[in-house]
Structure 1
Amino acid sequence: MNSLDISLFRWLNSWAGMNPLVDNGIIFKAHYLPYIAGTAAVLFFFFYKDEVQKLKNRFLVLEIAASGIFSRFFVVEIIRFFWQRLRPFEALSGVTTLIEHPQEASFPSGHAAFFFALGMTIFFRYRKSGLLFLLIAFSISINRVAAGVHWPSDVVAGAVVGIVSSYAVHYGKRFLLQHTKERIARLLLSI
């Protein structure tokens, strides 16, 4: 941890505990917005105008799931296995913690990795919606710092992991789908 990380954390966390309205906004964005964003991303599975878009959207939802799971439950966990970093509320005194969180490794942020992967994956197909989801990922990440459960560098690293993972899945799928695309398409259209 460096002094910039601590200073930026202290500044963002200083917003917590000052005003109930601000606290509720931080809690909403850090804790509840991820559920809303995840649900909204799944809705791509159900909304389409024709069979071609139906198939593309169902592939998109599979790609979102693959990039999110790969970034959060594979890459993040490998990094955390080798790099155990205390959370701010464990390492510093005087931290205002607005959401409950177990005492486990904080680097990189799993939420940032998952939601930046989600946003970037949507961005590949739908630019405007993808930008919205990337802004949501940014909001979730910053508010998790303000809520006292992550360092700024945790969420920056998580964002990088998520974006790189989404690129790996997006461009890796082309290679994998060359021989299985028709079978997967039939399966997705039958749902």
Structure 2
Amino acid sequence: MSFDYIKHIDASLFMAINVNLQNRFFDYVMPWLSFCGNSGFIWILLALFLGVKNRSFGARGFILTSLALLGSFILADELLKHYFARTRPFQVMAGVNLLIQAPTDYSFPSGHAATAFAAATAIAMQAGRTAPAVLLLAALISFSRVYVGVHYPFDVLAGAVIGIATGWIAVKVASRFFNDGRTDYSSRNNRF
């Protein structure tokens, strides 16, 4: 399978989502979901809420989630985007429905997907009962990036893989530096 064939599949999937799925409801909801993923703000608020509401999550959970966010941002947005330098779909394809302000950086991998899945993974590993909700939110934010016209599906898929790996590493490695008697999160709260 050639790289050109993979790019063709990616472009075809993009058009199927961005053009063929277009409807009034998604046109309203998807830009809002995309906005929620900006700067990881929604994940910081969620981690703060869980830190206050869920004693076992606490400050430690907030810190580990923040580390996952930071790690995924540095890896996806600051390193890999510049290395791959992939142009965004609206820059090279005709007929794209661009529903938000055009980003000026590169497309691959999706920083929104990376940070969303990093935070969702970190939260799910520490507060397992939240796993379905936070992973669904991460998936919706990631999907919105294709729908609003700023990412190819493979950008989002790569971002999700980076985010899951970064979130897992952040929790497993950084949790060892806390001295509260817990060495991992495989206990009652972890359903991930």
Query: By the TM > 0.5 criterion, same fold?
Result: yes
Work out whether residues 37 and 133 of structure 1, in 8 Å CA contact, stay in contact via their aligned partners in 2.
Answer: no
Q: CA deviation at 1:29?
A: 1.9
Report Cα offsets for 1:41-95 as digits up to 9, x if no partner. 32112214xxxx26x4210000010001111123442112211000110111111
Gaps of 5+ in 2: 1-5, 181-192
Q: Please point out which of 11, 31, 42 is paired with 2:35.
A: 31
Q: How many residues align?
A: 173
* 1:43 counterpart SS class: helix
Deviations 1:126-151 (A, max 9, x none): 22212211110100111110100111
Residues 15, 146 of structure 1: 8 Å contact kept? no
Pair 46,15 (structure 1): closer, same or farther in 2 beyond 3 Å: farther
Q: Cα distance 1:175–1:38, how it changes in 2: closer, same or farther (>3 A)?
A: closer
Q: Does the alignment pair 1:57 with 2:53?
A: no
CA drift of 1:38 comes to 4.1
Q: Is the 8 A contact 1:44 1:58 kept in 2?
A: no
Q: Percentage identity across aligned positions? A: 29
| Distance (Å, rounded) in 2 between the aligned partners of 1:174 and 1:44 | 17
Which residue, out of 44, 48, 52, partners 1:46? 52
1:7 alignment partner, one of 12, 19, 22: 12
TM-score (norm 1): 0.82
The residue type equivalent to 1:98 in the other structure is L
**RMSD between aligned residues:** 2.0
How big is each residue's C-alpha offset from its partner over 1:94-148, in whole Å with a ceiling of 9 and x where there is no partner?
1110011322111111110101011111111222212211110100111110100
**Cα shift at 1:168:** 1.3
Contact 1:119 1:131 in 2 (8 A): no
